[in-house]
Each structure stands twice: as structure tokens, then as C-alpha cells.
Structure 1
Amino acid sequence: MEKDTINKLFNDLQGSFDIEEPIEGHETRFLEKLRQKNTVATITKKKNSWWKPLSIAASIALLFFLAIGGLNNSITTEDKVAEISPEVSKSELYFVSLIDDQIKELEKENSPETKKIIEDTLLQLNKLEKNYSQLEQDLLNGGNSKLILSAMITNFQTRIDLLNEVLAQIDRIKKIKNTHDENFTI
């Protein structure tokens, strides 16, 4: 149907198309006018060329100040969680300090015999930390707060239990190594 409309349009306009050749020298006159306009535009651009860098610099400065203002006024996830449940904030501070102490103790025990278990433990702790961050987001998004708070505490307890178990395994590894070294004679 559309094809018929186009054909009808061309049939209606037949005979009214301008098919005559332009006057001799038309192209040279056109190119000359074009060159004159380009020269005028270039001169105009040179006169106003300082505005462009100045406007770019002003835009960058404005964005910079807006970013600084936004960063100063931003509330962290921890602050938002503390608003919802102040108890979580206090318990988080306690658990985090306990976990940090155990991680430092774990890193002190780093040796060729324990390297693999320590790396695996740190990887698992990283996964639990990501899980905890997701729980914080769920809490902020208005999920079941009692259930989420319980899961957050369980997450901390799981990290502490993991660290305690790994430290106990490292102690066993050290005892086995010492026993083998004592029984080894030259």
C-alpha cells in the first residue's frame, strides 16, 4: 500500500521536476561564496576562541565543588544501619575488633606449612564480609529487620568460629612439626 502512495506521488509530480543544467560558472561562484563564509567563520572563531577553554575550566571547577560537597554530606551505610538499629552498631564494633585481632594473630602464624590454610581462610572471610554487606543493604531496603539482624550476628559469629578453628588447626600443625623435628635425628 505504501508503494502505491509513493508511485502516485511521483506520477502527480511528473513534469514539475527541475531538470535544467545550471548556468556556466555556477560551481566556481558557489565555491567562492563558500570560501568567503569559511574565512569569516574562521575570523569569528579566532576572536571568540578564549571563551571555550574558559567555559570548560569553569565547568570542571563547578563539578569539582559539587563532588566535594556531595562527599561531605554523604552518609555511609554503617551510619544508616546505626540509625535503624544502634545495637547493631555497637555489636559490630565489638565483633570487628575481635575479628581484626584474630586476623593479625593468624597472619603472624604464616609459614610454608600454614600458607594454604591461611589463604583459604582469608578468602572465606572475604566472602563472609561481602555477605554481610549484602545483609546491610537488605536491612536498609526495608527487609525483615529481626531476621536480617539475626543473620548479621550469625555472620560475625561464623567469622569468629572460622578464625578460632583455623588457629586451632595451625596449633596442631605446629605441634606435629615440633614432634617430627624432635624425633628426627641426624
Structure 2
Amino acid sequence: MFLALGIGFLVYLNNEYGITRDPRVALKVPAYAREFNQYNVAIDQKREEIIKLARNNPELYKDFSADLESLEASYKNLRSNLSNAPNQEALLEAMVQNLQLQVDLLNRQLEILQRINKVKNDNDKENSDAPVI
């Protein structure tokens, strides 16, 4: 009986908010579920873009990944403290802020990769347009 209620609640949360990458948060604080889901979707999309743009620059991708992993580790630490936190609201706000920082970081990384690729493409075009002597 309890299992059926739990599954029903998860279905409700999924329909209402979309299950986040972290369903424990959705179960504890459904009001944050939609916000967490939106950030997680944005993070996943931006990571995919970075992977595509960084194909020709694996060292830079490695550096970018290390920066993001640091923020992800902080997020996981916050999440692990959620159930025992005396002020869960403040901890949830810190988790949201961490997700915002991840999105901001990924946006900056995308800008850098786009600039690098533009310069490379411009240089390639100049070299292909140069007269052959």
C-alpha cells in the first residue's frame, strides 16, 4: 500500500514538475522541483554543446570539465546535507545558487569555445583564399 502511494506521488511530481536529476529533492520539496529541473536541463544542453565545440581542443575541454566538477562536488555536498539541515530553505537556496553558477560557468565556457572556433575558421578561410604562388 505504501509503495503504491509512493509511486503515485512520484507520477504526480513527474507530471506536475518533471522529475529532476535529483528525485530526492523533488520528494522533499516539490516547490523546488521545477526550478531544479529547468537548471538541470539547461546544464545538460550546454554540456552537450561544449562537447561538440571542444572536439578539436581536448585539453581545454579537460580544464573546463575540472571547473564544472568542482561546482558539482559542492552541489552534491549540499544535497547530502539537505535531510539533516536545520534550515532546509537556506540550503535549497544555496543549491539553486550552485546550479545558477554552473549555468553561468557553462555559458562562459561556450563563449570562449565559440570565439576560438571563429578565429580558427577565419584563419582557415584566409589561408584558403590566399593566392597560390
Please point out which of 87, 112, 120 is paired with 2:63. 120
Please point out which of 14, 18, 26 is paired with 1:82. 26
CA-based RMSD: 1.8
Letter in 1 for 2:25: V
Letter in 2 for 1:171: Q
Residues 89-168 of structure 1 aligned to structure 2 (within 5 Å): 89-112=33-56, 114-168=57-111
Question: Which residue of 2 is the match for residue 180 of structure 1?
Answer: 123
Letter in 2 for 1:157: Q
Would you say the 8 A contact 1:117–1:166 is kept in 2? Answer: no
Structure 2 CA distance for aligned equivalents of residues 116 and 143 of structure 1: 42
Q: 1:154 to 1:106 in 2, by over 3 A?
A: same
Unaligned runs of 5+ in 2: 1-21
Structure 1 CA distance for aligned equivalents of residues 55 and 80 of structure 2: 37
Which structure exhibits the higher relative contact order, with contacts defined as CA atoms closer than 8 Å and separated by 6 or more residues?
A: 2
Deviation at 1:79, TM superposition (A): 4.4
Please point out which of 151, 170, 179 is paired with 2:113. 170
Unaligned runs of 5+ in 1: 1-77
Letter in 2 for 1:101: Q
Cα shift readout 1:102-140 (whole Å, capped 9, x = no counterpart): 11111111233x322221122222222221111112221
Question: Which residue of 2 is the match for residue 30 of structure 1?
Answer: none
Letter in 2 for 1:128: L
Cα shift readout 1:56-111 (whole Å, capped 9, x = no counterpart): xxxxxxxxxxxxxxxxxxxxxx4443343112222222211111111111111123
Task: Report sequence identity in percent.
Answer: 30
Would you say the 8 A contact 1:102–1:163 is kept in 2? Answer: yes
Q: 1:143 to 1:122 in 2, by over 3 A?
A: farther
Structure 1 CA distance for aligned equivalents of residues 93 and 39 of structure 2: 14
Alignment length, in residue pairs? Answer: 108
Would you say the 8 A contact 2:54–2:113 is kept in 1? Answer: no
